[in-house]
Amino acid sequence: MGFPFPFDVEEVEFQIQHEGWNVYELSDRTILRIRPIILKFFKQKGSTAPVGLGISAQNVMTVRAKAELKGTPSPILVDSARLETEAEKVEVQAKPFSEEWNQYILSDGTPVRVKLVLISVFRTKEHYDQFGEPIYLVRSDNIVAVDKKPK
């Protein structure tokens, strides 16, 4: 299976400078904490400019729901793709408490910032994690900002 970039890419080594949590209060009074974990940075092969910089990332999230929303942990956890298409769910609005720019330094010294942006949040009905918290489905994207390399 090929990488979905329309050109040849190479992986770029990086160091984590700061990775923080974005925190939101949902309209059902649940607190959502989420952050992207950057797995890899990519750039166009042979390029010395940060144009065409791409990332591979995985979101990590946790919630703290009010007691009235909690339930018995689901005996079988269903993957998010099945929940997305098969589960009954309700959309909830998100009000930000804090939204962080995660910071990285590429191997050539270029500083890069990545920020997760929420698109939508849905609470599933009758699906609960191992702690009895309702399972939420989050749609998000990441903004990548490449800063000037210090001299």
Mean pLDDT calculated for residue range 21-28:
98
How far is residue 116's CA from residue 34's CA, in Å, rounded to a whole number? 8
How confident is the prediction for the chain on average, in pLDDT?
89
**E strand or H helix at 84:** helix 80-86
pTM of the model: 0.86
The pLDDT value recorded for residue 3 is 47
- State pLDDT tens for residues 95-132: 999 999 999 999 989 999 999 999 999 999 989 999 99
Flag whether pLDDT at 78 surpasses 70. yes
Flag whether pLDDT at 51 surpasses 80. no
Which amino acid is present at 35? Answer: R
Domain boundaries, the chain: 9-146
Which amino acid is present at 47? Answer: S
Task: Spell out the long-range contacts of 2-8 with Cβ–Cβ below 8 A and sequence spacing 24 or more.
Answer: 3/42, 5/42, 5/52, 5/54, 7/44, 7/45, 7/52, 8/44, 8/45
